[in-house]
C-alpha cells in the first residue's frame, strides 16, 4: 500500500514513478476530471502510464518510486503560446502604444542581443522563470540575431523546457541595427531550423518568425512560409493588434482586402501558424482564420498594457478556432500564465460591460432612428452590427481559460497528442501546486468544489504556488530550499 509519504529528490526520470496528489485534468473547455486523491503513474521514458485514484494502485507497487505530494495539487504543465525572450529585461515599461513603445523600449533591448553573452544570460533567466511559473511549453520569439537564437535553443535544451523558438525576421521599416537583408534573414532562419527543429524527439521546434507585416517585405513573408512548409515547421507573427498599425498596413499593402489578407497572399495562414493578438478582426477575417485553421494567441494583458483593445475570445471560440493564451512579455507584465488566465477572464468581462453600455446608449436614440421609418430601422441595425452589438455578449469563465492555458494551448500548437492533460501515452509534463497561498483559509485539506478551485487558480494564482515543475517526468524546477523545508516539515517526511 502507499503508506510511506516520501518527497522526491531525483533530478532525472527514473524507472516507473507514481506521483500521488490531488489531480486536476482538463478534458475539454467544459469537462474536467478531478481526483481528490489521485495517482499519476509515469514510465521510465517520461510518458504517462496511467491516471487513477490512488486506491487503485496495486499492493505490489513496491517496485515503483512513490512521490507523495499530498495535499498539493497536480495540474498539466502550462502552455504559453506567445512570448518574447529578449523583451524580458524591458518588461513593464509603461507609456505609449505599440509602435512608439517598440521604438522607445523594445528595439533597443533587442539590439543588445548582438552580444551572445548577454543573450545567454537573458535566456537562462527567462526559461528558468517560465519553469518556476509552471510553464512547461512556450512559443518564443528571439531577436534577428542568429547566434542569440541558437543560444536560446541551447539554454532551453539544457533546462528541459519544451519550446518553439524562432529568429525574428525584419527586412523593412525597422531600425538600422535590426534591419536585415532579405536573403540573409532567410538563410540564417533556415540554418537555425535545420540545426534545431525536432531536437530531442520534438521537444524543441522551429518557428519562422516574420515579426509583422509592417517590418517584412512580401518576398520575405512568402519565402518564410515556403520554408516553414518545407520543414514542417511553425510560423509565428502578429496580426491586427493596434489601430495605427492597421492603417499603416493598409498603406503598405493597398491591394490586400484587410490585414489577414496580407498574410493569406503571403501564404502564411494554416494550422501551423500562430497569430498573436487578433484584436480588431472583421467577420471576414475571422472567417479566413477559421477556414485556414490558423491559430490565435490571445494576449489579454499585453492588449490592455498597450491600450490595443480586447480580443473577442468568445467569438473565436464559437467559430471553433484554436486559441491559446500568451503572456507576450514584454508588453505582458509577467511570465505567469495564472495571471494571464485571470486577465483573459477580466478582459472578457470588460468587453461584456462595454458592449452592454453602448447597446443601452444606442437604444436610447432608437426612437430618433425609428422616426426615419424603414430606412432608419435598417440604418440602426447596421450600426449595431458594425459595432458588434447586435448579439447578447458572453463572458469567458475560469474553466475555459484554464483549458486554454493547458489542453487548448496544446491543441493550438498541434501538440495535444503529446501534452496538455494527463492521459496514457502522453508526456508527463506537470506542475505541483501548493494551493494554500490562493486559499483564504490557508488549508489545503479543505474540501473545495471544482468550480471554487478553478476560480481561485485563475483569479488568485501566482508563481509562488509552484512547488515543482516536470517535463517528460524529469524535474526541471523545484521551489527554494526554505519553502521546501517547510513543506517537508508539514508532511513529517524530511
Binding site for Zn ion (CB under 5 A): 276, 328
Residue 297 CB, nearest approach to Zn ion (Å): 8
Dihedral sign, Cα of residue 197, residue 203, residue 204, residue 210: positive
Residue 162 three-state SS: strand
Look at residues 234, 212, 257 and name the one whose alpha carbon lies nearest to residue 324.
Answer: 234
Q: What's the Cα-to-Cα distance from 115 to each of 105, 147, 183, rounded to whole Å?
A: 18, 9, 22
Residue listed under C-alpha cell 514510465: 43
Question: Residue 288 corresponds to which cell in the numbers above?
Answer: 479566413
Residue 141 CB, nearest approach to Zn ion (Å): 6
Q: Which is nearer to Zn ion, 236 or 421 (CB)?
A: 236
Residue 293 CB, nearest approach to Zn ion (Å): 21
Residue 157 three-state SS: helix
Q: Which is nearer to Zn ion, 137 or 421 (CB)?
A: 137
What is the distance between the alpha carbons of residues 196 and 184, in angstroms, rounded to a whole number? 18
Residue 459 CB, nearest approach to Zn ion (Å): 24
What is the distance between the alpha carbons of residues 151 and 248, in angstroms, rounded to a whole number? 34
Residue listed under C-alpha cell 526520470: 13
Q: Are 33 and 27 in contact (CB under 8 A)?
A: yes
Residue 102 CB, nearest approach to Zn ion (Å): 10
What is the distance between the alpha carbons of residues 367 and 363, in angstroms, rounded to a whole number? 8
Question: Residue 277 corresponds to which cell in the numbers above?
Answer: 493578438
Residue 268 CB, nearest approach to Zn ion (Å): 16
Residue 82 CB, nearest approach to Zn ion (Å): 6
Dihedral sign, Cα of residue 402, residue 405, residue 410, residue 412: positive
Residue 104 CB, nearest approach to Zn ion (Å): 16
Q: Which is nearer to Zn ion, 48 or 274 (CB)?
A: 274
Distance between first and last Cα of the chain: 20
Residue 90 CB, nearest approach to Zn ion (Å): 13
Q: Which is nearer to Zn ion, 24 or 168 (CB)?
A: 168
Q: Which is nearer to Zn ion, 85 or 276 (CB)?
A: 276
Q: Which is nearer to Zn ion, 25 or 308 (CB)?
A: 308
Q: Are 431 and 136 in contact (CB under 8 A)?
A: yes
Tell the burial category of 478 from Cβ atoms under 10 Å away from its Cβ (0-12, 13-18, 19+).
Answer: buried
Residue 138 CB, nearest approach to Zn ion (Å): 12
Question: Residue 130 corresponds to which cell in the numbers above?
Answer: 517560465
Q: Which is nearer to Zn ion, 29 or 276 (CB)?
A: 276
Q: What's the Cα-to-Cα distance from 426 to each of 45, 47, 124, 458, 494, rounded to whole Å?
A: 11, 5, 27, 25, 31
What is the distance between the alpha carbons of residues 409 and 231, in angstroms, rounded to a whole number? 22
What is the distance between the alpha carbons of residues 261 and 234, in angstroms, rounded to a whole number? 19
Q: Which is nearer to Zn ion, 103 or 194 (CB)?
A: 103
Cβ neighbours, 10 Å, residue 247: 10
Q: Are strands 32-42 and 430-433 parallel, antiparallel or unpaired?
A: unpaired
DSSP character for 199?
Answer: H
Residue 405 CB, nearest approach to Zn ion (Å): 17
Q: Which is nearer to Zn ion, 110 or 328 (CB)?
A: 328
Q: Which is nearer to Zn ion, 150 or 301 (CB)?
A: 301
Q: Which is nearer to Zn ion, 171 or 328 (CB)?
A: 328
Strand order across the beta sheet in which 32-42 lies: 48-53, 32-42, 17-26, 65-76, 430-433, 466-471, 474-478
Residue 122 CB, nearest approach to Zn ion (Å): 16
486 contacts: CB under 8 Å, gap ≥ 6: none
Amino acid at each position: 500500500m502507499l503508506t510511506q509519504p516520501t518527497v522526491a529528490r531525483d533530478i532525472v526520470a527514473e524507472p516507473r514513478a507514481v506521483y500521488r496528489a490531488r489531480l486536476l485534468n482538463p478534458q475539454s473547455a467544459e469537462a474536467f476530471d478531478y481526483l481528490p486523491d489521485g495517482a499519476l503513474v509515469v514510465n521510465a521514458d517520461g510518458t504517462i502510464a496511467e491516471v487513477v485514484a490512488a486506491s487503485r494502485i496495486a499492493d505490489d507497487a513496491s517496485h515503483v518510486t512513490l512521490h507523495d505530494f499530498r495535499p498539493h495539487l497536480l495540474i498539466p504543465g502550462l502552455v504559453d503560446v506567445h512570448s518574447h525572450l529578449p523583451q524580458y529585461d524591458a518588461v513593464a515599461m509603461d507609456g505609449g502604444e505599440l509602435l512608439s513603445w517598440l521604438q522607445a523600449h523594445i528595439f533597443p533591448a533587442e539590439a543588445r542581443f548582438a552580444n551572445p553573452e548577454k543573450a545567454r544570460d537573458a535566456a537562462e533567466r527567462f526559461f528558468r522563470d517560465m519553469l518556476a511559473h509552471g510553464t512547461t511549453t512556450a512559443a518564443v520569439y528571439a531577436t534577428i540575431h542568429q547566434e542569440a537564437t541558437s543560444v536560446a535553443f541551447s539554454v532551453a535544451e539544457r533546462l528541459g523546457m519544451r519550446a518553439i523558438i524562432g529568429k525574428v525576421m525584419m527586412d523593412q521599416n525597422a531600425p538600422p541595427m535590426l534591419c536585415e537583408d532579405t536573403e540573409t534573414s532567410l538563410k540564417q532562419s533556415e540554418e537555425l531550423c535545420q540545426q534545431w527543429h525536432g531536437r530531442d524527439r520534438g521537444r524543441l521546434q522551429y518557428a519562422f518568425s516574420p515579426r509583422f507585416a509592417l517590418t517584412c517585405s512580401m518576398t520575405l513573408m512568402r519565402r518564410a512560409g515556403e520554408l516553414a512548409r518545407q520543414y514542417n515547421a511553425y510560423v509565428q507573427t502578429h496580426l491586427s493588434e493596434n489601430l495605427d498599425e492597421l492603417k499603416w498596413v493598409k498603406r503598405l499593402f493597398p491591394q490586400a482586402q484587410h490585414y489577414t489578407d496580407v498574410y493569406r497572399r503571403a501564404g502564411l495562414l494554416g494550422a501551423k501558424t500562430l497569430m498573436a493578438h487578433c484584436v480588431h478582426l472583421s467577420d471576414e477575417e475571422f472567417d479566413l482564420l477559421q477556414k485556414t485553421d490558423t491559430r490565435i494567441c490571445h494576449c489579454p494583458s499585453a492588449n490592455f498594457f498597450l491600450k490595443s483593445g480586447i480580443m473577442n475570445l468568445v467569438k473565436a471560440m464559437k467559430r471553433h478556432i484554436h486559441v491559446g493564451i500568451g503572456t507576450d512579455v514584454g508588453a505582458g507584465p509577467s511570465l505567469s500564465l495564472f495571471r494571464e488566465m485571470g486577465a483573459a477572464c477580466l478582459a472578457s468581462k470588460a468587453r461584456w460591460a462595454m458592449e452592454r453600455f453602448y447597446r443601452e446608449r444606442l437604444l436610447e436614440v432608437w426612437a430618433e432612428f425609428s422616426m426615419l421609418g424603414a430606412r432608419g430601422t435598417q440604418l440602426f441595425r447596421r450600426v449595431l452590427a458594425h459595432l458588434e452589438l447586435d448579439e447578447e455578449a458572453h463572458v469567458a469563465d475560469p474553466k475555459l481559460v484554464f483549458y486554454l492555458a493547458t489542453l487548448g494551448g496544446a491543441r493550438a500548437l498541434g501538440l495535444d497528442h503529446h501534452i496538455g492533460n494527463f492521459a496514457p501515452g502522453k508526456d508527463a509534463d506537470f506542475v505541483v501546486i501548493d494551493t494554500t497561498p490562493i486559499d483564504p483559509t490557508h488549508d489545503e485539506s479543505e474540501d473545495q468544489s471544482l468550480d471554487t478551485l478553478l476560480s481561485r487558480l485563475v483569479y488568485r494564482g501566482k508563481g509562488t504556488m509552484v512547488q515543482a515543475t516536470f517535463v517528460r517526468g524529469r524535474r526541471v524546477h523545484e521551489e527554494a530550499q526554505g519553502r521546501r523545508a517547510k513543506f517537508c516539515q508539514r508532511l513529517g517526511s524530511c
